[in-house]
Chain A
Amino acid sequence: MKGLLIKDFYQMQSYLRVFLVVVLFCVLAGFSNQDAVFMTYYPAILMGMMPITMYSYDEKENFLKLLSALPMKKRTYVTEKYIFGFMMVLLACAATGMVQAIKMSMDGSFVLTDFALIMTLPLAIGMVAPSIVLPLIFLLGTEKGRFVNILVMAIALSFIKVFMDLGSDFQIIIDAKQLVFLLLGGATLLYFISWLITSTIFEKKEY
């Protein structure tokens, strides 16, 4: 598992430098622009999709064939992709969270529950998008799965917009703390179910 994670980090460093610059730009844009809430969520979505990109490279570079020779279960490979994805989302949330915390402190609006709510949404959405796409990519392969990937990205971004518009109404029905637990609990459960489905799909795949 650790070896696979190291491989993915090396690949990310090498192939995705421009991508990481875009993420960094979005994080910083959230600081400079008053209306850039969208930019707070976008990095988590992008980083959450990272395991899909990594899987594409593994498929293209025949690593999946080599995998059958390595001393690990197929499930380990799937687990690594989910852990890698979660680490990426956490990384993006940590970066945007830091920026948002500084921004809120500077304008005197920092309230812990508000801050937690603001940061919960990217964390949850960052996990939801790969939860849907990863099983399909493992099932269909990168080429066929690409369309699904784009579709899910579009739905995820639309969801953010809708949620942002309805945000205040939600808070009337349930308080912020409940919302944080609901979002995080739901996303985690979905992520876990997705991992189970992907593991089953990959167990049956032959390379």
Chain B
Amino acid sequence: MNAVEIRDLCKSYKEFELKNINLTLPSGCIMGLVGENGAGKSTTIKLMLNAIKRDGGTITILGKDNRENFELTKEDIGVVLDEVGFSECLTAKQVGKVMQNIYKNWDAPVFEQYLTQLKLPRDKKFKEFSKGMKMKLAIAVALSHHAKLLILDEATSGLDPVIRDEVLDVFSEFTRDENHAVLISSHIVSDLEKICDYIAFLHEGKLMLCEEKDALKEQYAIIRCSEEILGAISKDAVIGKKISPYGVEAIVHRSEIPSEVEISPVDLEQLFIFMVKGER
């Protein structure tokens, strides 16, 4: 079963438009939703949570339309937002008690286990938590009611590398169960590159691509050469290029590059930067 299916999703604001988004997240996988600030990542997530009304298209979460009895489906969804949303005066223990009475499947021992694993104090007020601790508490909550789908909106932004690594490990562990899936939005591409199976790339409200990460790496490569050599390559093969006094750097379709031209593997960050900023 697919954890998330989005078809032709549209939403318009005065100065921003999300256009015909199509993406599928199979169960057992992690999908990274990448894009610059304002690309439409948070809008997509809000639409998925039915927090805002869509103008067109369909959204199916865990096999059900997200406009029909969605409060029941949300029992199976763990969500972490960049502004966590817990009351500043609550302690982790109190947050647990509140959530215990909100989620039917709340598992207090599992929550306790995550508090220990993520080294979170039980009796310290939320307002005294660091940004990293706040995010870890939100993650502990999201994982303590036996969710099948995790939706994370910029959950790793603003965290130091050590905590980010810890958190990413937790997400990888979560998807060991093939009924689980994670959708994580971030503009830190390196985080997503580490853990994601699928990458969806949003730019100015448009979905530029949505593919398996390994397939992207197989399809695209980077070449560094002179302008003359690049000129000899088919224009259709070039995704984007940057010209400097030292030569040309270009992202290309691997399959369309002559064997004599030396190619290097591309990382996702390079790919997206070239797609957005590189000349064609």
Interface residues of A (CB under 8 A from B): 2-4, 6-7, 10-11, 14-15, 57-58, 61-73, 206-207
Contact = CB atoms under 8 A, between A and B. Distances in A.
Contact of A62 (B72, B83, B151): B83
Interface in B71-113: 71-72, 74-75, 77, 79, 81, 83-90, 94, 97-104
A71 B84 contact: no
Given A10-B98, A14-B125, A70-B102, 14 more contacts: A3-B100, A4-B102, A7-B90, A14-B90, A15-B89, A58-B87, A61-B88, A62-B85, A63-B85, A65-B51, A68-B50, A73-B71, A206-B53, A207-B51
Contact of B77 (A57, A61, A69): A69
Contacts of B99: 3
Mostly, the A contact residues are helix
5 contacts: A2-B101, A3-B98, A6-B97, A10-B90, A64-B85
Nearest to A13: B89
Contacts of A4: 98, 102
Contacts, number: 77
Contact of A68 (B49, B101, B102, B103): B49
A71 B103 contact: yes
Nearest to A76: B71
A68 B51 contact: yes
Most central of B75, B81, B87, B90 by chain A CB within 10 Å? B87
B194 interface: no
A72 B101 CA distance: 11
Contacts of B81: 62, 65-66, 69
Nearest to B49: A68
The winner among B46, B50, B51, B74 for most chain A CB atoms within 10 A is B51
A62 B53 CA distance: 19
Contacts of A62: 81, 83-85
Contacts of A61: 85-88
